[in-house]
Structure 1
Amino acid sequence: MKPNAIFIYNERETAYRFNDSHPFNQKRLHLTVDLLKKSGTLPASCIRMPASADEGLLRLIHSQEYIDAVKGLSAAAPAPQWLDKASMYGLDTEDTPFFPNMHDITLGVVGGSIHAVDAVMSGASLHALHLGGGLHHALPSKGAGFCVYNDAAVAIAHAKAAYGARVLYIDTDVHHGDGVQWCFYTDPDVCTFSIHETGKYLFPGTGAANERGDGSGFGTSVNVPMEPFTEDESWLECFEEVLNRTIAQFKPDLIVSQHGCDAHAYDPLAHIHCSMEIFRAMPRIIHGLAHTYCGGRWVALGGGGYDIWRVVPRAWSLLWLEMSDHPLRDRLLAEPSLTLPKAWIDAWQPLSEEVLPHTWLDPVDTWEPMPRRAEIEAKNRQTVEVSTLYLA
């Protein structure tokens, strides 16, 4: 019997690491997988170890010149000709510095997302989760925002080329999904939906509601920029309304979603004040839409998330519980104060500078409400009006 959902994971993806002080820390993959295993929610039968992508698939999105630069800068001691060109390709910045073996490691990440698309589009599994993916900022000829190759865009292009799929990309990262948007900005068969903190205050500075696509792709770029300090209720209200109208109009064959979990109040790189509730609710909404519009076909990827101890493992675990229809998902509805496995806390607390949470969800009733809540919610509703201007 085929699984309802597969979990794509190769430990080598944790080698996607720029340097020891960089905020993009793939130890979060270890933490998440361990939480799922210690909670008894990730059976070995669901885990798949992907191969690296065929390098030719990169050319569906990335220029050969850029690929050559990434390969050249992947050497332990890059040649001067590549060092001189690093800035041209965005690979010498504080955010996205080149690192040894960068090409092969990132090719492995792309392979995981390709595997996810193949599994779902071939019918081997209804849903596929690849938490190592979601590098959504990379552009065709430039690295950016901690992203070297854009595995999400390559996977979408592969779904189109190999299966003729019409794809809805849903980006829930607090940072705008700019790389994927620009890759398909004129493509009428790919719709990009992104909810994020407004670019007025946050990288990458894009994602305004009036970025709608161009040419035959006009109307297939949908952005929902949220005000700083937005809380759960407003975030989810805007997410659900705009996404429901987007998918009803676009009618995709496949959903590819990106699940950065940096819209949490604890995340150090943004200003949104949401709790674990949005990371329980957004996958539930997407899951329902996948079955309503796509025959269940749903590929989910990881993404941002920089509180690797308190936020990422819980958020990504909640995503897997939803995708796999695990009974623990429904228990959390009835028991919101359900505790995390003691074995997981005991294993990781000695290594964490933060006090680890003891419950799956956050005790939001003890949190101080944000000042100006009413004004923030009103501004977000105005944004929804602009975002949905061309939606039925």
Structure 2
Amino acid sequence: MSKAIFITNPIFASDAWGNNHPLAISRQRSLLDFCSALGWTSSQNMAICDFASLNQLSQFHSEEYILAFQKASRDLKIDAAGRAEFSIGTLENPLFDKVFERASASVGGSILAAEIALGGKVAFHPAGGTHHGRKDKASGFCYFNDPVFAILTLLEAGLSRVLYVDIDAHHGDGVELAFKADKRVHMVSLHEENRWPNSGALKDNCAQICNLPLPKAINDSEYAILIDAICEKYVDFDAQAIVIVAGADCLKGDPLSTMALSNLGFVSAIEKLLKLAPVKIVLGGGGYNPWTVTRAWALIWGRLAGFEIPLALPPSARDVLSGLECDLIDEEDILPEWRDSIQDKGNAGEIRDEINILVGSLSKF
């Protein structure tokens, strides 16, 4: 039996987001195709999640918002007042076929992830990680907030020490807002400074909230120092469970951030963090370069499930990468390794003063 479970649903592989949207790159379909080409998917290590019910969704989201979103998804339209109130039907959060069902499946996947993790296996839900969603509206490409439901499921199971770590390039504002008054949940967010949603400052840190706004172009060496410091800080918290939002927009080459991690540094960080708790959940998140996100999430899955990481890709896996495209990335900016291998070259570098200041800040709260 597999020690890790990959959670998915057929709806995640369907066309979505329409045209001219950063997420119109079929991330889940390419990830599944790539992992399948590597021989890393089977009935033994995959689980199909259900759609979250209206009753489940109402454990966090307002009934008014849920019903308005459901109707707008069905009608594929919403009036100006509803658009302004709920932030759906916008360029940021567009309406498209079965958008409500897709968002509900993300929540269902995070609920299932928590249940699987509580049962002793590592849960990997790459279609999760919609960390900007608010109680009563959509935000930042996130219609619901599935990480909230993973955490709620853990708390409902009786856990009293849950660690949430968000390594997406964008601050995990929605999750922070949801649990800032709940002392059972400690939250860490490493995100790029001065980037939307322009929250998560050092001044906001307290006993249960740790925000680390990162300077531009952070490298593997700098990131490793920060992750090691976080692990040292939170080892005494003795977390019973950890939920990680593994947004791949922190990788070098992503069009929506200037962060410069290799996927080796990215996966190393996740593996270190997972050692902090016995109950382990890894969700997806951002990531708008189809080559880097596909390879990084596949690399996570390969490591979690214990597969041998190939130095050379089989032709079928290279075909998946060669077939990807992205309007936000020019052909001349596509690195050869994005199409030829699963692992990046590392991106070691100097440690800037800003990083040492961030490490020092961890002892102040």
Task: Tell whether the structures are fold-level matches, with TM greater than 0.5.
Answer: yes
SS in 2 for 1:7: strand
One-letter identity of the residue aligned with 2:272: I
Task: Provide the C-alpha distance between the structure 2 equivalents of 1:350 and 1:256, rounded to a whole number of angstroms.
Answer: 32
Task: Provide the C-alpha distance between the structure 1 equivalents of 2:345 and 2:76, rounded to a whole number of angstroms.
Answer: 49
Tell me which residue corresponds to 1:320. 301
Matches within 5 A, 1:340-359: 340-352=313-325, 354=334, 356-359=338-341
Q: Is the contact between residue 193 and residue 222 of structure 1 (CA under 8 Å) also seen in structure 2?
A: yes
Task: Provide the C-alpha distance between the structure 1 equivalents of 2:214 and 2:53, rounded to a whole number of angstroms.
Answer: 38
One-letter identity of the residue aligned with 1:183: A
Task: Provide the C-alpha distance between the structure 1 equivalents of 2:293 and 2:73, rounded to a whole number of angstroms.
Answer: 28
Q: Is the contact between residue 226 and residue 235 of structure 1 (CA under 8 Å) also seen in structure 2?
A: no
Flag structure 1 segments of 5+ consecutive residues without an equivalent. Answer: 213-217, 333-337
Q: Is the contact between residue 16 and residue 106 of structure 1 (CA under 8 Å) also seen in structure 2?
A: no
Tell me which residue corresponds to 2:257. 270
Q: Is the contact between residue 16 and residue 105 of structure 1 (CA under 8 Å) also seen in structure 2?
A: no
Tell me which residue corresponds to 2:328. none
Task: Provide the C-alpha distance between the structure 2 equivalents of 1:361 and 1:120, rounded to a whole number of angstroms.
Answer: 27
Cα shift at 1:84: 1.9
- 1:363 aligned onto 2:345: yes
Task: Provide the C-alpha distance between the structure 1 equivalents of 2:37 and 2:179, rounded to a whole number of angstroms.
Answer: 40
Q: Relative to 1, partners in 2 of residues 1:138 and 1:346: Cα closer, same or farther, differing over 3 Å?
A: same
1:323-364: CA deviation from partner (whole Å, max 9, x where unpaired): 223333xxx7xxxxx222222113441454545431222234
Cα shift at 1:110: 0.7
Flag structure 2 segments of 5+ consecutive residues without an equivalent. Answer: 326-330
One-letter identity of the residue aligned with 2:241: L
Task: Provide the C-alpha distance between the structure 2 equivalents of 1:147 and 1:381, rounded to a whole number of angstroms.
Answer: 33
Tell me which residue corresponds to 2:236. 249
One-letter identity of the residue aligned with 1:357: R
Cα shift at 1:130: 0.7
Task: Provide the C-alpha distance between the structure 2 equivalents of 1:347 and 1:91, rounded to a whole number of angstroms.
Answer: 32
One-letter identity of the residue aligned with 1:192: M
Task: Provide the C-alpha distance between the structure 2 equivalents of 1:94 and 1:381, rounded to a whole number of angstroms.
Answer: 39
Q: Is the contact between residue 15 and residue 26 of structure 1 (CA under 8 Å) also seen in structure 2?
A: no
- 1:378 aligned onto 2:360: no
1:165-195: CA deviation from partner (whole Å, max 9, x where unpaired): 5311111111111111110011100111111
How many residues of Structure 1 are paired with residues of Structure 2 in the alignment? 356
Tell me which residue corresponds to 2:362. 387
Cα shift at 1:90: 1.8
SS in 1 for 2:5: strand
Task: Provide the C-alpha distance between the structure 2 equivalents of 1:343 and 1:3, rounded to a whole number of angstroms.
Answer: 24
Cα shift at 1:266: 0.5
Q: Is the contact between residue 174 and residue 263 of structure 1 (CA under 8 Å) also seen in structure 2?
A: yes
Tell me which residue corresponds to 1:299. 281
Tell me which residue corresponds to 1:170. 165
Q: Is the contact between residue 267 and residue 305 of structure 1 (CA under 8 Å) also seen in structure 2?
A: yes
Q: Is the contact between residue 77 and residue 95 of structure 2 (CA under 8 Å) also seen in structure 1?
A: no
SS in 2 for 1:224: strand
Cα shift at 1:16: 7.5
Task: Provide the C-alpha distance between the structure 2 equivalents of 1:79 and 1:276, rounded to a whole number of angstroms.
Answer: 40
Q: Is the contact between residue 238 and residue 276 of structure 2 (CA under 8 Å) also seen in structure 1?
A: no
Task: Provide the C-alpha distance between the structure 2 equivalents of 1:381 and 1:175, rounded to a whole number of angstroms.
Answer: 21
Q: Is the contact between residue 196 and residue 224 of structure 1 (CA under 8 Å) also seen in structure 2?
A: yes
Cα shift at 1:220: 0.8
One-letter identity of the residue aligned with 1:301: L
Tell me which residue corresponds to 1:58. 57
Tell me which residue corresponds to 1:335. none
SS in 1 for 2:73: coil
- Structure 2 counterpart of 1:209, from 185, 202, 207: 202
Task: Provide the C-alpha distance between the structure 2 equivalents of 1:350 and 1:51, rounded to a whole number of angstroms.
Answer: 30
Cα shift at 1:13: 1.8
Task: Provide the C-alpha distance between the structure 1 equivalents of 2:339 and 2:316, rounded to a whole number of angstroms.
Answer: 13
One-letter identity of the residue aligned with 1:313: T
One-letter identity of the residue aligned with 1:119: I
One-letter identity of the residue aligned with 1:240: D
State the identity as a percent. 28
Q: Is the contact between residue 137 and residue 147 of structure 1 (CA under 8 Å) also seen in structure 2?
A: yes
Q: Is the contact between residue 209 and residue 387 of structure 1 (CA under 8 Å) also seen in structure 2?
A: no
